[in-house]
Amino acid sequence: MRILRYDQDGVARYGLLEADGTVRELVGSPFGPAAPGAVVGPVTDLRLLPPVEPPKIICVGLNYREHIRETNAQTPEFPMLFMKPRTALVGHGQPIVYPRLSKVVHYEAELAVVIGRRARRVSPEQALDYVLGYTCANDVSARDWQRREMAHGFLFWGKGFDTFAPLGPWIVTDIDASDLAITLRLNGEVRQAARTSDLLFTVPRLISDISQAVTLEPGDVILTGTPSGVGPIQPGDVVEVEIEKIGVLRNPVVAEE
């Protein structure tokens, strides 16, 4: 099942994407009782929103083995976590705004996990029972700010600018995300190419570890880390994150006015 959110006359609605590209309204909530409703129209005619409104956006750093080697970092003993504000969210087709405050902004393709029900201190063996589905994400990062603040042991500015969390285009349920191809294209040219099997901490491990300290709620999103090949973007660029069995998240980059 593919679940999306779209704008209809200023109102955010959930929909179901069918195999032929038609969208049906989802009557109810993906996190509760729901049923297919009336046909809305072709997905190409809709303005897509981030497929979920997460209470929390939890991100994982240094979680692909090849990326760890690329950065000459020490291999973490446990997941390295940080958070993004909800104001960082944008959906498929919406612009990434290159902030005036930064001069070095990078893309980071990531698999995102959407939590389906409340999870507290769950085991790795139970963890996938709490997953609604998966979507594509781009952990956009202002490297100049990230380096400055990490020198003092903090991380927020470099990850938290408005529009720095593109998410979408939809949530795909009932897939095995343990070995999916993940690709990032910049202006049509491949810049990142890996498989989720290279994750140091798997999705079940991440959910379990995080839930030992933080209660995960329906709609929470976990960005699972980026593979090797990160690099800069500039206004005028188009960034595409593609994940096997999910789809393509595409966002243009524009300068802040």
At 215 the pLDDT is 99
Write down which residue in 29, 49, 69 finishes a domain.
Answer: 49
Q: Assess whether 23 and 126 both reside in one domain.
A: no
CATH number of the domain bearing residue 10? 2.30.30
The residue segments making up the domain with residue 116 are 52-255
At 239 the pLDDT is 99
Q: Assess whether 1 and 96 both reside in one domain.
A: no
Q: Assess whether 89 and 13 both reside in one domain.
A: no
Q: With left for phi above 0 and alpha for psi between -120 and 50, is residue 5 left, alpha or beta?
A: beta
Q: Assess whether 165 and 85 both reside in one domain.
A: yes
CA distance 181 to 173: 17
CB 114 within 8 A of CB 135: yes
Q: Assess whether 44 and 77 both reside in one domain.
A: no
The pTM assigned to this predicted structure is 0.97
CB 158 within 8 A of CB 143: yes
Q: Assess whether 123 and 27 both reside in one domain.
A: no
CA distance 134 to 143: 27
Per-residue pLDDT of the chain (257 residues; tens, 9 = 90+): 999 999 999 999 999 999 999 999 999 999 999 999 999 999 999 999 999 999 999 999 999 999 999 898 999 999 999 999 999 999 999 999 999 999 999 999 999 999 999 999 999 999 999 999 999 999 999 999 999 999 999 999 999 999 999 999 999 999 999 999 999 999 999 999 999 999 999 999 999 999 999 999 999 999 999 999 999 999 999 999 999 999 999 999 999 99
Query: How many structural domains are present in the chain?
Result: 2
End-to-end CA distance of the chain: give it in Å, rounded: 39
At 207 the pLDDT is 99
Which of 156, 204, 211 has the alpha carbon at shortest distance from 178? 204
Question: Looking at the chain, which runs of residues are DSSP E strands?
Answer: 2-8, 11-17, 22-28, 34-42, 47-49, 57-61, 80-84, 89-90, 96-98, 105-107, 109-115, 131-138, 141-142, 165-172, 181-186, 189-195, 221-223, 231-232, 238-243, 247-255
Q: Hey, which residues does 171 pair with through a beta bridge?
A: 3
Whose tokens are 């612009």? That residue is: 95
**Beta strand 89-90 pairing with 165-172:** parallel
At 16 the pLDDT is 98
Q: Assess whether 36 and 116 both reside in one domain.
A: no
CATH number of the domain bearing residue 181? 3.90.850.10
Q: Assess whether 56 and 84 both reside in one domain.
A: yes
**At 207, which amino acid appears?**
I
Q: Assess whether 83 and 18 both reside in one domain.
A: no
At 97 the pLDDT is 99
Q: Assess whether 82 and 181 both reside in one domain.
A: yes
Q: Assess whether 68 and 20 both reside in one domain.
A: no
